[in-house]
Amino acid sequence: MLTAYRFRLYPNEKQQELFSRYFGCSRVVWNKALELRESYYKEHKNDKQKKGLNYYDTARFLRELKQKEEYKWLKEANSQSLQQTLMDLDKAFNAFFKGISKYPKYKKKTNKQSFRVPQFFNFTDNLLYLPKMGKGIRMEIHREFPRGKVKQLTVTKTPTGKYFVSLVVDDRKETPQKVQITNDPDKSIGIDMGLKDFAILSNGIKISNPKFLQKSEKLLKRRQKQLSRKQKDSKNRAKARISLAKIYERITNQRNDFIHKVSTAITKRFDTIVVETLNIKGMKKNHNLAKAISNVSWSRFFEFIKYKAEKQGKNIIEIGMFEKSSKTCSVCGHVNKGLTLKEREWTCTDCNTLLDRDINAAINIRNFGLNQIGLKSIPSDRGEFKPVENSLTAELAKMKIKARSTSHDPEKQELYAMKKLKLLIGAGSP
């Protein structure tokens, strides 16, 4: 089984200069190969007998490029790293033609920089040795990994100037067998995604949306305004750009940390997880909701849920996006065709049950998923489904779990409440 690890690097000044050369070489090779493929397509797009260029064509082009006087400095970089750049470009084009990613873009010096090293690297204590790099690069190993089984590594530099190395390790462990799917409500869960609440679980728990972007929006506007006032290509503009990039980096780290905690807690607690297939790309076309949808990172959450479930042998069931999960009564199956988006709770006209719209949808998602594989869902003994408090801190108070944080700041109280997320997901609402 392949596992990815990411560690922080602390190169000295000379090593930073070597990294800059590697980054520059990889960036130039990417841009030149992309330009070649684009020009070839424009020239032969009407000729049906001629196909587009592939990796081998760009590899021959790279060999010729190195022979030119003005590009001889490309030989300073590891040749395999440049070949990996061409492979990555070829994969990017193949993914674009399959419709699973966007068209490859030209790389800029101010964006994230990276290069890959497929082999001839080594680790000694807390040092990383790379081809043509000389001395070892200091590496902060915060968790152990099987060093002799690293398949390849990628060195990256963030827009804020931090260096990281990502390792792909083959631990030679077989993928665990899937656990048996049962209709036990304590072992299966349905998840309905939202904007006001990040996720609503079929056991009645609502995980609040932390809204990291909105909390930093005023500071972002201020930094963007400061950046726009700086003179182009000046040192002050470069400092302002890094200051702005740090805010975006912090938001990204907060969001990833939150999604990791939620996805880990869910996959450890439940054997079967049912989610709804969402057309996120289409939903973003609604300009009133596009920012909010991007901020909650549904795609990344689903990605984390899937790979963590696979590593633990848990089951993921996906249902169609057109299932009437919100409009169907989870108790008797009556469909409320007149339900509008503004109605957050409604009473079923057939069984007179008061339903919370989101919890009802999560229960139906679980039911639809189990029915899809031929299992009849067993209703949980929660009784009447009433609205649940949105705040995690309020949920903890209901469960008589004290948030022992000494701060009176609501945001810090909420962060402490997140540490008790496993208890929340496991216990449900009283």
Residue 174 DSSP code: P
Range with lowest mean pLDDT among 113-127, 250-264, 350-364, 400-414: 400-414
List Cβ neighbours of 414 (8 Å cut-off, separation of 6 or more). Answer: 208, 210, 391, 392, 393
Residue range 228-238: mean pLDDT, rounded = 92
Looking at 276, 323, 356, 395, which residue is catalytic?
Answer: 276
Asked if 348 and 169 touch (Cβ cutoff 8 Å), the reply is no
Res. 393: pLDDT tops 80:
no
Locate 118 and state its tokens.
């497929």
Res. 388: pLDDT tops 70:
no
Please give the pLDDT value at position 421: 61
Strands (DSSP E) found in 215-362: 272-276, 315-319, 345-347, 354-356
pLDDT, tens digit (0-9, with 9 covering 90-100), for 294-346 = 888 999 999 999 999 999 999 999 998 888 888 899 888 888 888 888 888 88
Res. 376: pLDDT tops 80:
no
Given pLDDT bands bounded at 50, 70 and 90, which one contains residue 221? very high
76 is catalytic: no
Looking at 88, 192, 197, 356, which residue is catalytic?
Answer: 192
Rounded to two decimals, what is the model's pTM? 0.80
Please give the pLDDT value at position 411: 60
Given pLDDT bands bounded at 50, 70 and 90, which one contains residue 93? very high
Please give the pLDDT value at position 401: 40
Backbone angles phi, psi at 300, to 5 degrees: -65, -40
HEC secondary structure over 57-117: HHHHHHHHHHHCHHHHHHHHCCHHHHHHHHHHHHHHHHHHHCCCCCCCCCCCCCCCEEEEE
Please give the pLDDT value at position 45: 81
pLDDT, tens digit (0-9, with 9 covering 90-100), for 18-46 = 999 999 999 999 999 999 999 999 888 88
Given pLDDT bands bounded at 50, 70 and 90, which one contains residue 378? low
Please give the pLDDT value at position 402: 42
pLDDT, tens digit (0-9, with 9 covering 90-100), for 175-209 = 888 888 888 888 899 999 988 889 999 888 888 88
Res. 430: pLDDT tops 50:
no
Please give the pLDDT value at position 410: 56
Looking at 90, 197, 358, 395, which residue is catalytic?
Answer: 358
Ordered by start, the domain boundaries in the chain are 2-170, 188-209+252-388
Arithmetic mean of pLDDT over the chain:
85
Q: Which fold has domain 188-209+252-388?
A: Nucleotidyltransferase; domain 5 (3.30.420)
250 vs 111: which has the higher pLDDT: 250
Determine the 3-state secondary structure of 362 from DSSP: helix
276 is catalytic: yes
What percentage of the chain carries pLDDT values higher than 70?
A: 87
Strands (DSSP E) found in 339-400: 345-347, 354-356
Determine the 3-state secondary structure of 413 from DSSP: helix
